[in-house]
Structure 1
């Protein structure tokens, strides 16, 4: 009879799984093999702590998303790799969660470094404090506070990170990140969320990488809008600066459908989220479309991913990404294209296909993002595209 793996063995198996898919800095891998995630999830079957999945730690009675989550371990590892914290660094984390990520950071920066974690929710902050104490990380500072304020009393920070999705970069954070310091946070624009890694160069933050992710939105930012379409069977998510008038789209799915297909094809397991990212670099009409099963049953063309598909919206028309199976190419059986509705649905579908084929020609291309304070000067390259937020200006360019 084979004995069940111990918790230590399960933890190492999880890290082995993560490192088989992604190269991790040695310090991040060692920290993940050292910190016992199960100690930060009391009341949960401890073996579940070593499955690569998120765990809700506080539900939200007022909405569909939890107020706080223990993030997926592979996403935690990815963001720690982006952050690249070093021994002796001073680190600020916004969104304390279970305290697990702060413990990992404490291992990485060592006894000569300092970790501060803040959370707006008193229960979450208290949980993190107790869990950190129980696991031997009393040296981590836990503060109950609105994370958008940060923690100026322990600034400046060599590294700052967030485990909540932000639609805008708070002005207060600029004052707390040291020159040359590194910021990694889940940034939301045009309906998508990317973990963006940036380095401060004076009054500019410059990216050197971004990865798809999903996080609970931070409390206190209100730059995103949602409109119900088709009697609530579909929803459109867009930013406040976009010229979307949902009243013009009430009957859009009752208009004739146009389908346009790109030359681009994808494999069964091949990610194609880069299409969305590429479209946002030049196109201010990109939104997120969410389509329910009721809409599909009513005849709406199935989007590429019903709960989160990029759409282009102009006036009373829209087009969104769709897939078509073609078995002629067994290696890449899915052809990518667009479904359009409304008077200008065909034109928008062709525009979406142009974005798709541009991505298809350079599937690994990642744009550079620079972020500037909203009231400061902008340095926009010739092919750069500006997205305006309340407290910051974002420039994207290839």
Structure 2
């Protein structure tokens, strides 16, 4: 008879890292840091099995909204962003969003004799991070309670800045405190999506070399993203940027009691094949891209045709018309049995549907392509860069395929 042995924290941690390595390639130093730092030490009171699951863990709820005020990020995303940052021994690194302190501990392992500073606007979160870092043996990490949008000028310039909260606009303060040649890694939000973008400062520009779809709690203090309900029950909502002229009243009238116009593309996907690149591709040329959110209650009542991902689907919006991404099962190709398409409402719906199909098919022709993102400070932006520009109060984004 064999007696099963309860796995230790080390066993669980190594199993989690092995799981992460099954889905992505990590630099050796990031893998070593993930195997060394005990995530459970930063989540006191949580069962070991939960601490070493590849999931986010809320550490402070938000009384003013559905999203957490602070949480421990998904470990595989943590690892991916640390790989993007490429922190080296001796580097001086700033983290915006202290969270549990776990990410700062990983950074401390990566920079060795270098310096790690982590900043958080919330006093409870900053205290939690300070306490757990001290208890885990990382007292050398500097924890500062401050609005992260201001950065931490006392310890600048930084070789790297990493944000662990969703950022809608890159603050000028971060530019002023990032060394030329330094790396900025952040979950950058535009047109309803969030991409973990790795940028290198080259003089007066930040230029990307990698981006991956992700999801993060938004940073406090940036309000450029808008959310409006499109029905009385608040079960259908549109998310858009402040520069987009979305007519909520017109859209609400459009969706009431009307049937959609549906168009299917020739682009097929498999059951496990990601297609978020359609959204990214559309944002690189089209300023009408928004995010549609449909709650289960709206789907149960048949208020709208089911979007491809109800909580977050790309949509094109123009006045009182919109078109959004749908999927249709069609078994002609067993490897890729799903056809992507568009469902559209409103007087200009057919045109929007065909425009969305064009974005789908552009993505389908080159599914691994990622745009080059160049960011310049709005105050210094001279224009003239090739590509599609999105202007924000403090930064100007230019996307080019």
TM-score using structure 1 length: 0.98
Q: Give me the whole-angstrom Cα distance separating, in 2, the residues matched to 1:114 and 1:67.
A: 26
Map 1:114-129 → 2, pairs under 5 A? 114-129=115-130
Contact 1:236 1:288 in 2 (8 A): yes
Which residue of 267, 274, 292 corresponds with 1:271? 274
Q: Tell me how far 1:377 sits from its aligned partner.
A: 2.9
Residue 330 of structure 1 corresponds to 334
How many angstroms does 1:47 deviate by?
2.3
> CA offsets per residue over residues 280-307 of structure 1, 9 Å max, x none?
0000000000012222233210000000
Residue in structure 1 matched with residue 75 of structure 2 by the alignment: 73
Q: How do 1:1-398 residues align onto structure 2 when only pairs under 5 Å count?
A: 1-111=3-113, 113-231=114-232, 232-253=234-255, 254-299=257-302, 300-378=304-382, 380-382=384-386, 384-398=387-401
Does the CA contact (< 8 Å) of 2:263 and 2:342 recur in 1?
yes
1:293-331: CA deviation from partner (whole Å, max 9, x where unpaired): 222233210000000000000001000000000112111
Give the Å deviation of 1:274. Answer: 0.4
Contact 2:183/2:199 (<8 A) preserved: yes
Distance in 1 (alpha carbons) for counterparts of 2:262 and 2:173: 46
d(CA) in 2 for partners of 1:255 and 1:305? 21
Question: Residue by residue, what CA displacement relative to the aligned partner does 1:364-398 show, whole Å, maximum 9, x if unpaired?
Answer: 0000001100111345444x000010111110011
C-alpha separation between the residues in 1 aligned to 2:108 and 2:259?
A: 58
Secondary structure at 1:375 match in 2: helix
What is the distance in 2 between the residues matched to 1:58 and 1:101? 17
The answer (yes or no) to whether the contact 2:321–2:345 under 8 Å persists in 1 is yes
Per-residue deviation, 1:121? 0.3
Q: What's the CA shift for 1:181?
A: 0.2
Quote the Cα distance in structure 1 between the aligned partners of 2:249 and 2:133: 50
Contact conserved, 2:381 with 2:396, CA < 8 A, in 1?
no
Shift of 1:48: 1.2
Question: How many residues are treated as equivalent by the alignment?
Answer: 396
1:381–1:397 Cα contact (<8 Å) kept: no
Answer yes or no: is the 8 Å Cα contact 1:149–1:172 preserved in 2.
yes
Any runs of at least 4 consecutive aligned residues in structure 1 with deviations exceeding 4 A, and if so which? none
- Residues 289 and 309 in structure 1, CA contact (< 8 A), matched pair in contact too: yes
Deviation at 1:136, TM superposition (A): 0.4
Q: Aligned partners of 1:387, 1:2: CA distance in 2, in Å? A: 57
- What secondary structure is seen at the aligned counterpart in 2 of 1:319? strand
Q: Does the Cα contact within 8 Å between 1:206 and 1:369 map onto a contact in 2?
A: yes
> Residues of 2 paired with 1:81 and 1:332: CA distance?
31
The answer to whether the 8 A contact 1:38-1:47 is kept is no
Structure 2 residue ranges without an equivalent (≥5): none
Q: Aligned equivalents of 1:30 and 1:177: distance in 2?
A: 27
How far residue 26 of structure 1 moved from its aligned partner, in angstroms, is 0.7
SS where residue 149 of structure 2 aligns? coil
* 1: CA distance, partners of 2:173 / 2:315: 33
Residue 220 of structure 1: CA displacement?
A: 0.2
Write the distance in 1 (CA, Å) between the matches of 2:80 and 2:125.
Answer: 23
